Structures are given as structure tokens and as C-alpha cells.
A = this chain, B = another copy of it.
Amino acid sequence: SPRWFERINVNGYAQFRYSTRSQNNLTNQQGESFSNNNNGDFFYRRIRMVFQGQMSDRISFFIQGAYEGNGFQTSNAEMVDAYADYYITKNKEHRIRAGLQRVPNSFDTYRSSSQRQELDRSESVQTGAPGERDFGLAYYWSPKVAQERFATMTTYHNGPGDYGVFGIMVYNGQGRNQIERNRDKHFGAKLSYPFELPNGRLLEAGVLAFTGIYNVQNVGAPTSTSGSRCAKVLTHGGCEIQDQRVTAYIFTPPQPWGFQGEYTVGRGPERNAQGFVAEQELHGGYAQVNYTWRYSDVGQLTPYVRYSYYHGGMKNFQGAAADNTMWNFGLVWEPDTHLRLVSEYSLHDRLDTTVLALNRSQDELYGHWLRFQIQYFFN
């Protein structure tokens, strides 16, 4: 039987950044270690190590640790993926996945940061699954032809790999590495298909949906003077609000031009101008165009532009209201098989998520970021 190093594979990547922003309160909700005076600093956005393997005909596992800490302090390592697949059929068309894994929320949150070119995910869909993963059980079905096309798409930018033509999942629902707060479990499902057009272009389209009860943390009773209150705070903490979305997407990899777009509608926790968190409607989406110029055997240059907007609440920021739009302009240079350099300029018109005093609505912010990233791969 194969030896351990033939069955287990160690790989990973790191993203080293230098970031600046136009003002201090223009924070990055998905994490960015800006220093405390607006200006440029070196830090690690991600240091990721993956241990994965196919242990027997039917069992494989995937363990990914995040070692970047807060970016400046590379401590408090965290597991961001830890799951096993059990193949019900030997052709790997049917599988059960158990553990800490990506949830059926959107195309964008299935993409790994090793595949993704843009420096952040789109807030419109990322707000549905902060941290992208959760603890749970899933079932995925991928017919052979889809397996092959999903694999081919990963050889281009932005293909996330095989998350099934059909998938369902039950999970805690509080987000990645969050304490579960209620008896309710979230349920999610996806349906998608990777087409191959007569001219060879690959095109994937799909729809995802989830529903559950989310427990918003750090909220005060209605009579409190907190700027983040709830009509009914539970005795064991937090307030419980319906959390559900439907998201549709289309993706075609850069052959040599590519497109990607998603649109989401749903209901979830949102804080109003009086500081009350309650169930509200939400909607948003993004569209992105990119183009890959392969200028040598290994060298590539990929410019991209993305427009994104989100109107709704941010459940993991005490239901902070969002009425946000963003433009991203990026250039990706890959001079080597194991090196990727990204420059990105982004324009923001958004609401500040900070909890303000009672009856003060959130401030509107305009500004920009300019960021540079060196990404290197160990695989």
C-alpha cells in the first residue's frame, strides 16, 4: 500500500501585503491589518498550510490551518477547514462531507483565496456566510462529466473546484469558528451545472439557498442605552432572527476573457437608525470582467474590474446596516508558477459599521484603498 507521503500532501500559500487607505474609519470588514494612522504597513493577510490526503478508496480528508493571526501578530492559529469525505460510490459521484467546511452560500465563498485573484470577496454575498465555513454535514453529487469540467476550470483563474452539481448541508449557522448559540440548525442547498460550449468555452451557472435562525450577539435589551438593541434578548444572550437567502450566479473563466456575476436576495438581521436589530429584506450582487494574457510559458498578466453593491444587514457586526457600493480595479502579474503579484485600487461608498450612541444612525463613508500583494505558493 502507498506510503504516507504518497497519500498525504502538504501544500499551502501566503499573502504578504502593503496596504494604505484614505481614512482610518474605512476599515475592511473581511480583515486587513491597516496600522492606526492610515498609512502603509507590511503584514500577512494569510499564511495557510494544508494537509490533505486520500487515505483509502473511500476516505479522504482536508485540513487547512490559518497562521496569520491578526496579520501583524502571527499567533492564535486557527483551523479554517477540517473535513473528511466518505465516497458512497467508488466513482466518487456521491459523497458525504463531515466537519468544518464551506457552506452552500455563493460561488464567491466556495472559491479559495489561492484561486481567487481579487483581494477580497464581494460583501454582497460574503455577508451570508462570514468566514465561508461552518460545522456540519453535507452531501454532494457530481456526475463524472461535471467532475472533469470542475477540474479543468481550476486550471484557469477563479475556478473553485468540485462543490457538486447538487449539494445539501446542515450546519450550526453562527459562522466559521463561532460558538453555536441555539438549537436551530441552518440548512443550505445548491444546484449548478458546468457547461462546455461548442467553441470550448466553459460556463457554470447555479443557484444556492439557505435558511436558519441566527443569534445576533452583543445586543442590549430594548430599554438599554446601547446603540445596538433587540426587541427580545434571550436569557442565555443574543437575539434570534430569521436568516435566509437565495443566490444565483454565472461564471466563465478567462479564456482569455472571463466573466463572473452573482445576485442575492433574502431576509436577515439589520440594525435601523434607532439602533434596533430586526429582520429586514436584503439584496445585492456583483459583476466582474477579467482578461488573461499569457505572455510566456509561465508568465501571465490579468487585469480585472468589479462592481459590487449590497443593501441589507451584516449579521456578524451586530446587524450593522449596509448600503454599500464598491469598485475594484486590479492587475495580477504571475511571473512564475509559484508567485503572484496583485495591485488593487478600490473605491468605497459605505456605512460605518461601528455601533454608535443610542438613536444615532451609522455614518456614511467615502474613500479608497490602494493595496499590493505578494502571494507565494508551497505545493
With A35-B182, A53-B378, A378-B61 already in contact, the answer to whether A74 and B67 are too (CB < 8 A) is no
Contacting pair A136 B183 (CB below 8 A):
no
- Interface band, chain A: 35 or more
- Report A15-42 residues with CB < 8 Å from chain B CB: 16, 33, 35-42
A361 in the interface (beta carbon within 8 A): no
With A180-B35, A180-B72 already in contact, the answer to whether A42 and B137 are too (CB < 8 A) is yes
Interface residue stretch chosen among A1-9, A146-154, A260-268, A320-328: A1-9
Docked complex Cα distance between A75 and B79 (Å): 7
Contacting pair A177 B73 (CB below 8 A):
yes
Docked complex Cα distance between A136 and B43 (Å): 8
Contacting pair B72 A178 (CB below 8 A):
yes
- Report A37-75 residues with CB < 8 Å from chain B CB: 37-44, 47, 49, 51, 53, 55-56, 58-59, 61, 63, 65, 67-70, 72-75
A310 in the interface (beta carbon within 8 A): no
Contacting pair B182 A376 (CB below 8 A):
no
Chain A interface residues toward B at CB < 8 A: 4-5, 8-11, 14, 16, 33, 35-44, 47, 49, 51, 53, 55-56, 58-59, 61, 63, 65, 67-70, 72-79, 82, 84, 86, 98-100, 135-137, 171-172, 177-183, 236-237, 336-339, 374, 376-379
For the complex of A and B, 4 pairs with smallest distance between CB atoms: A42-B135, A74-B79, A39-B183, A84-B376
Can you report 29 A-B residue pairs in the complex whose CB atoms are below 8 A from each other?
A: A4-B379, A10-B10, A35-B183, A39-B182, A39-B183, A40-B183, A41-B135, A41-B172, A42-B135, A42-B137, A47-B79, A55-B337, A55-B378, A56-B338, A61-B376, A65-B77, A67-B77, A67-B82, A70-B179, A72-B177, A72-B178, A72-B180, A73-B178, A73-B179, A74-B79, A74-B100, A77-B77, A84-B374, A98-B376
